């Protein structure tokens, strides 16, 4: 990593800190750590984050918007973007950046978190804002994440100057669907931001359930019973995540075990905002106003504010949406149309939460042979169809869906009661009124649940509070090239060797039986990795000879040169494997020579956008 290693403090951590690095908003929560390991977790509190709300004006707010405004040298010279702890700034994050998104869309970074999982681009390269003009000094998705997390770390330092954040127990959340490389990129950004190398990653749906547990106290044991299944339905700004958690009984006590997580689905509030913007563009056109590309991007950001107002508490019937004029007669002027609540609700329900059968999976229309490189947004925006597909894939038998007993909603999208109710109504049609899942009562504020749950988890991991067990959310495989005669123009087929089973716990190691497998050394080679959220019965050493997506999907490959020495007679060694999940949740794979003391380690450490391989 690029960060400096810090020595461990002499005194124990004083606080458990939970950080939600969200697609749309970030939040930070904390609780004091009781030195008694048997004591109940401390009260979880939120930290208000000082940030720019207008040029040269700061204010402490509970959320830090995940937006970045890339200013000009003139902004830096005018000190307009300075903070109390940072001078000569040429960028701003938070409330001001979100506010300026509509006025300066080509200088606005949004959705950086979704880019972390996009393996089609180099996530260390300055590519954001995507398609911004050449005069904008772009940043990478990793750098954007560093800046958000650095801001949170600075807010913590101002509030608790005698408790450095890198010496506390820090838990940072990621989508359950993030693969190993996206998780490592997130961890890399966190370390560069000064959060310390001992931070732990936690899946967001689990964090939201931990927040519910923190609020429920012992009441949760009276709410659910053994045999119940909890569905965490998490729809945020950029992604949709589903998680199933089973309630079991162990040694006379209730326990929570994660059963399944869904795929990374790029559908969320951003898509809804864009759909509203398209509808509004037609309204502008009806007035004879054709918006240019700049105004269309600005309209997308303006639609977000309108949606939140119209679907919030005590909403008005209409909300004006305004963009700046760009024509010769309109420069400096503002043009606006009204968006009404009924139209907004109908468009979002029909477009994103339609009524469908549980057997109706996502629709896959034929794609063009050419496609712009960018975020891999889902072609089917129907979240209810993605949910049906998830439940069918993880049911007790083929053709039978999993049936949740309770639903826990998470993500800013579900602040709208109409959207929560539509999910419940659709599942009521799937399973009938008697088996329809019920919402978990007393859900915490959806803006802060993930951060609060992460702070609670830091205490639960130390033995205080309830832990959700489940280990890795996927099985992991390495691609083994088969032997055989070469055929011109045809690559040799691959076999997939299971090296990490579903549910492997942090700190666990596994021997991986493998016959007749060799590793190439002394020259650059590519090692291919695969993962599966559905193959839960594969064991280390199991070999898959054929598969299709999404049953098995390829993650980032490793391009590296495994070292050798002058005594080696061959450029390859017959090896056996050993896998390990570290305490921080990272995957390590060791290749051990069967004929010498050579040993190599492959791990997801993606500096230069490639995991590293090393030899010992």
Span 418-439, mean pLDDT? 95
Q: Which of 297, 298, 295, 309 is nearest to 338 (CA)?
A: 309
Find all residues with CB under 8 Å of 608, minimum gap 6, and list them. 124
Look at residue 35 in the predicted model and tell me its pLDDT: 66
Find all residues with CB under 8 Å of 103, minimum gap 6, and list them. 298, 324
Rounded Cα distance, 255 and 460, in Å: 13
Look at residue 265 in the predicted model and tell me its pLDDT: 86
**119: which 2 tokens?**
């393996």
**424: which 2 tokens?**
């419940």
Span 599-610, mean pLDDT? 54
Integer CA distances (angstroms), 194 to 143, 164, 187, in order? 13, 10, 11
Distance of CA 9 to the CA centre of its chain: 30
Look at residue 295 in the predicted model and tell me its pLDDT: 78
Contact assessment for residue 247 and residue 228, using Cβ atoms and an 8 Å cutoff: yes
Rounded Cα distance, 355 and 343, in Å: 18
Look at residue 326 in the predicted model and tell me its pLDDT: 61
Look at residue 566 in the predicted model and tell me its pLDDT: 64
pLDDT band, residue 184 (cuts 50/70/90): confident
Tell whether the model's pLDDT for residue 329 goes beyond 50.
Answer: no
**303: which 2 tokens?**
């639609």
The overall average pLDDT reported for the chain is: 85
Tell whether the model's pLDDT for residue 389 goes beyond 90.
Answer: yes
Span 162-188, mean pLDDT? 90
Look at residue 599 in the predicted model and tell me its pLDDT: 83
Look at residue 142 in the predicted model and tell me its pLDDT: 97
Rounded Cα distance, 528 and 20, in Å: 31
Burial of 226 (0-12, 13-18, 19+ CB in 10 A): exposed
Phi, psi angle pair for 202, to nearest 5°: -135, 140
Integer CA distances (angstroms), 322 to 208, 281, 282, in order? 35, 11, 14
**474: which 2 tokens?**
């996927």
Contact assessment for residue 51 and residue 96, using Cβ atoms and an 8 Å cutoff: yes
Look at residue 242 in the predicted model and tell me its pLDDT: 94
**263: which 2 tokens?**
């795929």
36-50, 93-107, 187-201: range with lowest mean pLDDT: 36-50
Interval 506-528: pLDDT, tens: 788 999 988 778 888 888 778 88
Q: Which of 453, 408, 463, 460 is nearest to 44 (CA)?
A: 453
Look at the pTM and tell me if it is higher than 0.85.
no
Q: SS3 for 74?
A: helix
Contact assessment for residue 34 and residue 464, using Cβ atoms and an 8 Å cutoff: yes
pLDDT band, residue 494 (cuts 50/70/90): confident
Of 609 and 81, which is predicted with more confidence?
81
Span 239-260, mean pLDDT? 89
Of 177 and 6, which is predicted with more confidence?
177
Distance of CA 521 to the CA centre of its chain: 35
Integer CA distances (angstroms), 93 to 51, 63, 295, in order? 8, 11, 22
Q: Which of 31, 85, 19 is nearest to 462 (CA)?
A: 31
Rounded Cα distance, 291 and 255, in Å: 55
Q: 614 - beta bridge partners?
A: 601
pLDDT band, residue 604 (cuts 50/70/90): low
pLDDT band, residue 349 (cuts 50/70/90): very high
Find all residues with CB under 8 Å of 217, minimum gap 6, and list them. none
pLDDT band, residue 40 (cuts 50/70/90): low
Rounded Cα distance, 558 and 92, in Å: 35
**615: which 2 tokens?**
């030899």
Q: Is the dihedral of CA 94, 99, 101, 107 positive or negative?
A: negative
Q: Which of 163, 174, 179, 180 is nearest to 21 (CA)?
A: 174
Q: 234 - beta bridge partners?
A: 241, 410
Q: Taking the CB of residue 577, how many other CB atoms lie within 10 A of it?
A: 21
Integer CA distances (angstroms), 48 to 28, 155, 174, 194, 211, in order? 8, 8, 21, 19, 18
Q: Which of 425, 401, 408, 292 is nearest to 349 (CA)?
A: 425
Look at residue 430 in the predicted model and tell me its pLDDT: 97
Look at residue 331 in the predicted model and tell me its pLDDT: 44
Find all residues with CB under 8 Å of 477, minimum gap 6, and list them. 496, 497, 498, 499, 529, 530, 531, 532, 544, 552
Look at residue 607 in the predicted model and tell me its pLDDT: 31
Span 108-122, mean pLDDT? 88
Look at residue 573 in the predicted model and tell me its pLDDT: 80
Rounded Cα distance, 545 and 549, in Å: 14
Look at residue 39 in the predicted model and tell me its pLDDT: 56
Find all residues with CB under 8 Å of 161, minimum gap 6, and list them. none
pLDDT band, residue 109 (cuts 50/70/90): very high
Tell whether the model's pLDDT for residue 436 goes beyond 80.
Answer: yes
**490: which 2 tokens?**
């045809």
Burial of 615 (0-12, 13-18, 19+ CB in 10 A): middle
Interval 208-226: pLDDT, tens: 999 998 888 888 888 999 9
Integer CA distances (angstroms), 463 to 43, 341, 372, in order? 16, 47, 49
Interval 530-571: pLDDT, tens: 888 888 889 999 999 888 777 788 877 777 777 876 666 667
Distance of CA 600 to the CA centre of its chain: 30
Q: Which of 283, 341, 351 is nearest to 309 (CA)?
A: 341
**269: which 2 tokens?**
């509030």
Give me the count of residues in the chain. Answer: 616
Rounded Cα distance, 227 and 475, in Å: 25
């Amino acid at each position: 990593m690029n960060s400096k290693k810090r020595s461990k403090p002499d005194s124990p951590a004083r606080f458990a800190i939970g950080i939600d690095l969200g697609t749309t908003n970030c939040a930070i929560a904390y609780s004091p750590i009781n030195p008694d390991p048997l004591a109940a977790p401390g009260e979880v509190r939120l930290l208000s984050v000082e940030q720019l709300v207008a040029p040269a004006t700061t204010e402490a707010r509970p959320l830090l918007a995940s937006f970045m405004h890339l200013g000009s040298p003139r902004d830096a010279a005018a000190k307009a973007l300075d903070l109390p702890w940072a001078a000569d700034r040429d960028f701003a994050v938070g409330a001001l950046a979100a506010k300026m998104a509509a006025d300066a869309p080509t200088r606005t970074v949004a959705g950086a978190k979704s880019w972390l999982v996009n393996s089609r681009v180099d996530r260390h390269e300055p590519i954001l804002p995507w398609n911004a003009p050449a005069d904008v000094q772009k940043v990478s998705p990793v750098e954007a994440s560093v800046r958000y997390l650095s801001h949170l770390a600075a807010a913590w330092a101002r509030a608790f100057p005698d408790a450095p954040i890198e010496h506390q127990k820090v838990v940072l959340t990621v989508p359950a669907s993030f693969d190993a490389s996206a998780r490592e990129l997130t961890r890399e950004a966190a370390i560069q931001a000064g959060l310390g190398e001992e931070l732990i990653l936690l899946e967001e749906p689990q964090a939201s359930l931990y927040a519910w547990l923190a609020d429920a106290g012992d009441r949760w044991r009276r709410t659910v019973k053994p045999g119940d299944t909890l569905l965490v339905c998490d729809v945020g700004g950029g992604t949709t995540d589903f998680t199933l958690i089973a309630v079991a009984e162990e040694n006379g006590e209730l326990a929570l075990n994660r059963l399944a997580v869904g795929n990374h689905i790029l559908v969320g509030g951003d898509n809804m905002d864009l759909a509203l913007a398209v509808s509004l563009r037609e309204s502008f056109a009806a007035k004879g106003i054709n918006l240019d590309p700049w105004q269309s991007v600005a309209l997308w950001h303006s639609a977000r504010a309108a949606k939140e107002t119209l679907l919030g508490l005590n909403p008005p019937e209409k909300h004006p949406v305004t963009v700046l004029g760009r024509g010769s007669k309109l420069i400096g002027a503002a043009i606006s149309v009204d968006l009404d609540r009924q139209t907004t609700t109908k468009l979002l329900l029909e477009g994103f939460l339609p009524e469908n059968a549980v057997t109706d999976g996502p629709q896959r229309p034929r794609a063009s042979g050419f496609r712009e490189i960018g975020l891999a947004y889902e072609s089917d925006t129907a979240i209810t169809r993605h949910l049906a597909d998830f439940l069918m894939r993880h049911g007790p038998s083929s053709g039978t869906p999993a049936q949740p007993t309770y639903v826990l909603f998470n993500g800013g999208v579900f602040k709208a009661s109409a959207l929560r109710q539509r999910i419940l109504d659709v599942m009521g049609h799937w399973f009938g009124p008697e088996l329809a899942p019920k919402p978990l009562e007393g859900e915490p504020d959806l803006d802060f649940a993930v951060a609060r749950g992460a702070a609670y988890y830091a205490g639960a991991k130390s033995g205080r509070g309830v832990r959700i067990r489940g280990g890795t959310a996927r099985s992991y495989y390495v691609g083994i090239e088969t032997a055989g005669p070469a055929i011109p123009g045809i690559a040799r087929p691959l076999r997939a060797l299971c090296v990490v089973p579903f549910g492997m716990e942090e700190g666990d190691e596994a021997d991986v039986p493998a016959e007749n497998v060799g590793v190439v050394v002394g020259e650059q080679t590519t090692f291919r990795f695969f993962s599966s959220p559905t193959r839960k019965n594969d064991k280390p050493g199991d070999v898959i000879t054929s598969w299709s997506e999404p049953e098995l999907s390829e993650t980032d490959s490793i391009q590296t040169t495994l070292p050798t020495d002058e005594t080696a007679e061959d450029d390859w060694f017959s090896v056996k494997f050993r896998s390990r999940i570290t305490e921080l949740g990272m995957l390590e794979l060791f290749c051990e020579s069967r004929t010498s003391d050579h040993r190599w380690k492959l791990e997801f450490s993606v500096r230069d956008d490639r995991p590293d391989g090393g030899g010992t």
